[in-house]
Amino acid sequence: MENQRPSLSEVSDSLISTMKESGRTDVLSKLILGGIKLAPEMAQKFGVSEEVVLEMLFTFTALAEEKSDDKNSS
């Protein structure tokens, strides 16, 4: 029996819901939410899959958080 992966929209909806429920209102969280909502449109515009767009979004997010952590620790 093959494991069914949730659809990208299900994952996105779940992540958005979790972030809203947790009360995250910082700029980075808002950018993530906006990027998730725009992923299908961006994927179509650039001719790539939604997964590629989201992977880029999360990579940039991780880099931004790392840079923010570096600033806060100095």
Give this prediction's pTM: 0.58
Q: Report the chain's mean pLDDT, rounded to a whole number.
A: 79
Residue partners of 20: CB distance under 8 A and separation at least 6:
33
Q: Is 37 exposed, middle or buried (0-12, 13-18, 19+ CB in 10 A)?
A: exposed
Tell me, what's the pLDDT at 44? 93
pLDDT at 48 over 70: yes
pLDDT at 55 over 80: yes
Tell me, what's the pLDDT at 61? 80
Cα–Cα distance measured from residue 54 to residue 70, given in angstroms and rounded to the nearest whole number: 24
Residue 73: CB atoms within 10 Å: 6
Q: How confident is the model at residue 25 (pLDDT cuts 50, 70, 90)?
A: low
Cα–Cα distance measured from residue 10 to residue 67, given in angstroms and rounded to the nearest whole number: 30
